[in-house]
Amino acid sequence: MQQQDIEAQYVIEDSQVREDGQRVDTMTINMGPQHPSTHGVLRLILTIEGETIVKAVPDIGFLHTGIEKTAEAKTYHQALVLTDRMDYLAPLNNNLGYSLAVEKLLGIEDEINNKIKYVRVLLAELQRIASHLVWLGTHALDLGAMSVFLYCFREREMILDIFEEISGVRMMTSFICPGGLQADLTPAFDGKVRDFTSIFLDRLQEYHDLLTNNQLWIERTRGVGVLSAQDAIAYGASGPVLRGSNVVWDIRKAFPYSGYEQFNFDIPVGSNGDVYDRYLVRMLEMEQSLHIVNQALEGMPAGPYRVSNPKIAPPPKWQITGSMEALIHHFKLYTEGYRPPPGEVFVRTESPKGELGFYIVSDGSAKPYRMHVRGASFANLQVLPLMIEGRFLSDVVAAIGSIDIVLGEVDR
Amino acid sequence: MAITATSTVVMVREKFPQAVVETSDFRGEQTIVLRPGHLVAVCTYLQKTLRYTFLSSVTAVDWLERVPRYDVVYHLLSIPNQSELRLKLRVGEGHKQREDHPAVPSVTGVWPAANWYEREVYDLFGIIFTGHPDLRRILMPMDWTTHPLRKDYPLSGFDLPEPHWGGQVPYDVDPGVGSQTMRTPFSRELNESRSKISQDQEPGTKKT
């Protein structure tokens, strides 16, 4: 890039001439990247005229960690760990998307049994609730409702305890992996999930009591950050942002993956596309997720927790000590990994943030030739200027919170 | 008739016979390889007539040894028809050098969402999208000079610091640089003038 081009970006026009010839004084202010309400390291360059935002330019990349580049140097199993770190509030949903993509590349989708599918769905939905709880807590905190944050983290803690119970890790579990799951469920798992599901509906009602009919909350959110359905689709918004704008679209329904077609659930949609609608959509989604968790728990089939194909999943420990062949498989798997045939797949899943897509290109080697992640937050953040331009400065925080971005996924 | 990915491929083939290089089907996913010149016409047709209203992603793949070198990949989604499609362009004939930037027409006019996606591809691969309204770097710092997702970019970066970390300066030549660097576009010029390094030298290459 030329020197003058770079300099041009730093030039700040502080007075502009309107179309009718009137000269208006504007001020350019910087918001972030170190700002408590940008949910990470988002920087916004805001041009304001009085209290009104004339122009908003998001500046991202402060958390760019080169995950796509790093994945090219890892085997397929190692690259799984990187996916946890993208949307760090919903690692299991990332694992699920990645695992489905690798399984599709390997062509072993039919080998995934119902037990694996049910556990995956159950965990993905618990993770969705956990992610939405962090969103709700921080969103409410941004708008001044402090106590909601504490309640939300109380319930999220129970979900993290469940993950700790089965995997030993609270957040970056990597529990869902290509070929199945890392380990079998523990005996205490069922009870812990039931402990959570038995109280969560009441707790959800508590949040509703605190916010849904709260006049202050309604004043801050209703009619704020409006996004039309047409714009939402054109700008690539997905997930609750798209559904808040009254578009009935959920990848779990449209392209059912991992056995979602076996579960009953509804897709909540908003009507106006404002912050309040997106709030309600996520609140109702948590209820639907709980519904799915209950169904998965009741109908949990028995079965092995990973595929029996020794080229993809390691053989059980008792075989390794007794069988030469199993030992060789184990050794080959952890030194070389598996080699999918040359080809490319793009797998969409519905993460808590929206459409999470994994595009993996294989050249027949044990490492992905290219892994591209279509981060939901990345595309959703693109609509932020549409929501806030022409609105008041104080609504920026409400709009950012309602998009529910995770900068780890935006910058990757 | 419901529009599916397979019927879309047939319709695009009929409507734009000279635009389609080849089509492929891998694991049930349909791919159309297009000639770059026809991209916008085909995309407009897909968006308006076949209602592929949602652009999921734009990305690229660098096949270092191949001519043309890059694949530019578009993932489309039709919300009304619940159908998904992949478009692909092969660009970059003779673009072997790091400074070379193959050009692709921008589809921001068809899907506004392409704005950030194309900026990302430009940033990480150095592919230029002609007609893009605001083609700036998006993830890397503004004064970065190279494109990290290219296959000839080493995984751990170059041996020498990028301009961002103090200019195109080897540590052994000018030890003073690096301790006083600012993250501004001007620091690069400052540092380059202090050291005697040629402007033609690529970052990361040993001085011959």
> Least CB-CB distance to B57: which of A1, A255, A372?
A372
Residue A233 predicted with pLDDT over 50? yes
Residue A398 predicted with pLDDT over 50? yes
Q: CB-based contact (8 Å) between A78 and chain B?
A: no
Compute the nearest-CA separation of B88 from chain A (Å): 12
Q: Do B185 and A234 touch (CB under 8 A)?
A: no
Kindly provide the ipTM of the predicted complex, given to two decimals: 0.85
Ramachandran area for residue A115 (φ above 0: left; ψ -120 to 50: alpha; else beta): alpha
**Residue A275 to residue A397: CA distance in whole angstroms:** 11
Sign of dihedral through CA atoms A326, A331, A334, A338? negative
Q: How many angstroms from the chain centroid is the CA of residue A390?
A: 29
- pTM to 2 decimals? 0.85
Q: Do B141 and A61 touch (CB under 8 A)?
A: yes
**Residue A348 to residue A250: CA distance in whole angstroms:** 11
* Tens digit of each residue's pLDDT (9 = 90 or more) over A60-88: 888 888 899 889 888 998 899 999 988 88
Question: Would you place residue B184 in the very low, low, confident or very high pLDDT band (cuts 50, 70, 90)?
Answer: very low
Which residues lie closer than 8 Å to B138 by C-beta, 6 or more apart? A60, A61, B116, B119, B120, B123
Q: CB-based contact (8 Å) between A331 and chain B?
A: no
Q: Is A276 helix (H, G, I), strand (E, B) or coil?
A: helix
Question: Would you place residue B181 in the very low, low, confident or very high pLDDT band (cuts 50, 70, 90)?
Answer: very low
Share of chain A above pLDDT 90, in %: 32
Q: CB-based contact (8 Å) between A64 and chain B?
A: yes
Q: Do A359 and B189 touch (CB under 8 A)?
A: no
Compute the nearest-CA separation of A257 from chain B (Å): 14
pLDDT score at B141:
81
**Residue A72 to residue A63: CA distance in whole angstroms:** 19
* Tens digit of each residue's pLDDT (9 = 90 or more) over B135-173: 888 888 877 777 888 887 777 665 444 555 554 444 443
pLDDT score at A73:
87
Residue A17 bridge partners (DSSP)? A23
**Residue B92 to residue B67: CA distance in whole angstroms:** 7
* Tens digit of each residue's pLDDT (9 = 90 or more) over A252-280: 988 998 889 899 999 999 888 899 999 99
Share of chain A above pLDDT 70, in %: 96
Number of Cβ within a 10 Å radius of residue A25: 9
Residue A232 predicted with pLDDT over 50? yes
Contact map slice: A 382-411 vs B, CB within 8 A: 382, 411
Separation in Å, CA A188 to CA A125, A161, A162: 19, 11, 9
* Tens digit of each residue's pLDDT (9 = 90 or more) over A106-125: 988 888 889 999 999 999 99
pLDDT score at B29:
87
**Residue A373 to residue A72: CA distance in whole angstroms:** 13
Contact of A340 with A368, CB cutoff 8 Å: no
In chain A, whose CA is at the least distance from the CA of B99? Answer: A1
Q: Do B56 and A355 touch (CB under 8 A)?
A: yes
pLDDT score at A123:
92
